[in-house]
């Protein structure tokens, strides 16, 4: 069961997720501390470790718009967050797949902070409200990359499998 820890609106840009002024720090081990730096309560919650792995942030349309900075995904991956949005900006979505960040496309999702969510391959169930919403699944090949933890672990796994044959 995953819990909603924060709710965001439409058009959350990569600059909101990972402000450009921190671009001197790009290591995935260091970037998480700057996640949502300008949304002070969310940044504090994350840095104070009050969001356990698989916590959910619910957003509106066009999550991850703006620049193509990969750090916007790695900063969220550092907390093992699940991002549920009505839709995602194309480059952000591909970066999130490559890094193994859980992104859920759910155009009709309804949730509030504190709601318990159950996520399956094709449905998002808000256990608090009792409502169920259809998920737009990623193509199987892209989901396999996320399930492996990102493109590098996926490729490593495929190469090892191929060498073992």
CATH of the domain at 8: 3.20.19.10
Assigned domain for 68 exists: yes
- What pLDDT, on the 0 to 100 scale, is given for residue 42? 98
Assigned domain for 158 exists: no
Assigned domain for 165 exists: no
**Residues of the domain holding 54:** 2-138
Q: Whole-angstrom Cα distance, residue 127 to residue 109?
A: 12
pLDDT in tens, 62-111: 999 998 889 999 999 999 999 999 999 999 999 999 999 999 999 999 99
Q: How many domains does the chain have?
A: 1
Q: What pTM did the predictor assign? A: 0.94
pLDDT in tens, 121-154: 899 999 999 999 999 999 999 999 999 999 999 9
Assigned domain for 146 exists: no
Assigned domain for 86 exists: yes
Assigned domain for 149 exists: no
Assigned domain for 93 exists: yes
- What pLDDT, on the 0 to 100 scale, is given for residue 5? 98
Assigned domain for 130 exists: yes
Q: Mean pLDDT over residues 13-32, rounded?
A: 91
pLDDT in tens, 26-46: 888 899 999 999 999 999 999
């Amino acid at each position: 069961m995953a819990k909603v820890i924060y709710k965001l609106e439409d058009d959350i840009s990569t600059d909101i997720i990972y402000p450009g002024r921190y671009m001197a720090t790009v290591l995935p081990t260091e970037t998480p501390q700057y996640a949502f730096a300008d949304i002070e309560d969310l940044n504090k919650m994350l840095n104070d470790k009050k969001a356990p792995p698989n916590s959910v942030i619910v957003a509106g349309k066009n999550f991850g718009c703006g620049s193509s900075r990969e750090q916007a995904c790695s900063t969220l991956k550092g907390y093992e967050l699940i991002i549920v949005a009505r839709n995602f900006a194309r480059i952000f979505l591909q970066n999130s797949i490559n890094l193994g960040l859980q992104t859920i496309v759910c155009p009709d999702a309804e949730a509030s902070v504190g709601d318990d969510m159950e996520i399956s391959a094709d449905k998002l169930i808000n256990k608090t409200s009792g409502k169920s919403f259809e998920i737009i699944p990623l193509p199987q090949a892209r989901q396999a990359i996320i399930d492996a933890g990102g493109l590098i672990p996926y490729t490593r796994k495929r190469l090892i499998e191929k060498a073992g044959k």
